[in-house]
Amino acid sequence: MALILYAGSTNKNGFKALIAAECSGVQVELAKNFEMGVSNKTPEFLKMNPMGKVPVLETPDGPISESNAIARYVTRLKADNPLFGYSLIDYARIEQWIDFASIEIDANISWWLYPRMGYIPFTAVVEEFAISALKRSLGALNTHLSTNTYLVGHSVTLADIIMTCNLYIGFIQIMTKSFTSEFPHVERYFWTMVNQPNFSKVLGEVKQTDSVPPVQSQKKPAQPKQSKPKEAKKEPKKEPAKPKVEDAVEEEEAPKPKPKNPLDLLPPSKMILDEWKRLYSNTKTNFREVAIKGFWDMYDPEGYSLWFCDYKYNDENTVSFVTLNKVSGFLQRMDLARKYAFGKMLVIGSEPPYKVKGLWLFRGQHIPQFVLDECYDMELYEWTKVDITDEAQKERVNAMIEDQEPFEGEALLDAKCFK
């Protein structure tokens, strides 16, 4: 008995099994004349999956549902399939990335896309949360892919198949180039995968969307028609009773104001962060006399605080471009704090292992809690609050802002600014 896959020809969850089959030399056929919303409501289909969900794989031993399980089954049909790696640790990491692709990538793309398509109610708060969570997940994926061509090992695995299919719906429907350009290694990975022969045979030509789809009204079930009564007594028109305040229900709730960031509730500061950023950017000569002096003239120690950071794992920084990518990824993920922060990150050393050190200016007296919660890189650094009454620490601040070289006796490989 041939393996029959019940799914639409454009179903990205069905693609997982089809690509796994192509890579494994297993024959899987799409059910003929399958029509979503019709074929999956028939008694025959509901016997295979009472939920009516697709895809479903019909096998000689009975049906299988859930797309990741189907892809695993197809992969297992080939003995010692390299799609599952070459060791126990490979297998564990493949399973790790399959979970990540489902929980962190697919779920957040869905929460962004499906309300806009009208499948579930749209709310701006949910969309904002979904986009933020998706960016965080793509940032983590981008960091991993900065030093890896594939998710696990040196060839395609089942993790790559499932990750690519989950990214596919985002790339073709809602993640525009301006959105994905923040994650260059994810872009490189996705286009490499979809152009692999076994992938392109299933996916065909893939084109990235040019725009985010507009919000559509929620799809509602048709209401049954009510028959008119044979006779209706005519009654004098009455003024409609005014609803009680506590009983009034609006068809659409007015959007609630976005909750303020706690940093916006701090007492006003004499330091205007944008003015400092402009001064830093526009000073081309006499940097010490103009920019550094201007910084200390503007600095408000009650409204802002300065912090040194030192990377905890410098021994791992043995490849220059990988180290630079780590820092670039960190700065990308700090975008959520742009309104409240300024930073300098230095990569130090003329040969490996390279040291990464930084200086950050934050609104308030503490590192903002939302930064600690949302940017996972923070825990990779030791953070020390600058004591500006200590002239040695103050001079270190000057040297970091200025990109002074040598810095603490060592050459600078690179210096990056967050502003």
Pick the CATH number of 3-76 from 3.40.30.10, 3.40.50.620, 2.40.50.180, 3.40.50.2300: 3.40.30.10
**For residues 267-274, average pLDDT:** 94
pLDDT tens per residue, range 366-416: 999 999 988 888 999 999 999 999 999 999 999 999 999 999 999 999 999
Is residue 192 very low, low, confident or very high in pLDDT (cuts 50, 70, 90)?
A: very high
**How many CB atoms within 10 Å of residue 16?**
30
Fold: same for 3-76 and 82-203: no
Q: How many CA atoms lie within 13 A of 221 on its CB side?
A: 2
**What is the CATH code of the structural domain delimited by 82-203?**
1.20.1050.10
pLDDT tens per residue, range 153-166: 999 999 999 999 99
Sheet holding 355-363, edge to edge: 381-385, 304-311, 355-363, 341-348, 412-418
**What is the CATH code of the structural domain delimited by 265-418?**
3.30.70.1010
pLDDT tens per residue, range 60-85: 999 999 999 999 999 999 999 999 99
The mean pLDDT value of the chain amounts to 89
pLDDT tens per residue, range 298-353: 999 999 999 999 999 999 899 888 888 889 888 988 888 999 999 999 999 999 99
**How many CB atoms within 10 Å of residue 352?**
15
CA distance 151 to 104: 15
CA quadruple 239, 244, 247, 252: dihedral sign: positive
Is residue 216 very low, low, confident or very high in pLDDT (cuts 50, 70, 90)?
A: confident
Residue 64's pLDDT is 96
Residue 360's pLDDT is 97
**For residues 167-179, average pLDDT:** 95
Q: How many CA atoms lie within 13 A of 230 on its CB side?
A: 0
Cα–Cα nearest to 386, from 403, 372, 400, 405: 400
Domain limits of the chain?
A: 3-76, 82-203, 265-418
Omega prior to 353 cis, within 30 of 0? yes
Strand, coil or helix: 55? coil
Residue 377's pLDDT is 85
pTM given for the model: 0.55
How many angstroms separate the Cα of 150 from the Cα of each of 83, 163, 197?
A: 12, 11, 16
User: Which of 23-37, 167-181, 189-203, 234-248 is predicted least confidently?
Assistant: 234-248
**How many CB atoms within 10 Å of residue 349?**
19
